[in-house]
Amino acid sequence: MAGAAGLAACLGADFVKLKVPLKNGVMDTDGLAREVVTAAGNTGVLMEGGTKASPKEFLTQLHAQIHEGGCRGSGTGRNIHQRALPQAIAMANAIRAVTIENKSVDEALRFVEAAERSR
């Protein structure tokens, strides 16, 4: 994965989307993700969104990818689009809070919880 990130940098890509680096089946944000981000140089690394997960689980992984692993974001699809519209909007707002506004998982979950209460 670090090789692919380095290749993207050599090609002048602004961003490269890669799979989440796993170590023994567990997301490795401190080691492998940092290595991938370092190899990418100025090319921003986006991690895949992964399988549909609970909002807390997904946001926890996203927060770790960005704030521990140094990634710039996530290619999120099913964790937004496989939800009803109000919950999808809440997840998009929660993802924005973690990715752009540097919010904690608990702060981001407030968007999801508000959508659940208004159901």
Distance CA(114)–CA(7), nearest Å, equals 42
Q: Considering the entire predicted model, what is its pTM?
A: 0.86
Query: Which domains does the chain carry?
Result: 2-117 (3.20.20.70)
Distance CA(108)–CA(67), nearest Å, equals 14
pLDDT (tens digit per residue) in 74-110: 888 888 999 999 999 999 999 999 999 999 999 999 9
Instruction: Give the mean pLDDT of 56-74.
Output: 91
Distance CA(58)–CA(55), nearest Å, equals 5
Is the pLDDT confidence value at 55 over 80? yes
Instruction: Give the mean pLDDT of 50-69.
Output: 89
The secondary structure element, H or E, covering residue 110 is: helix 105-117
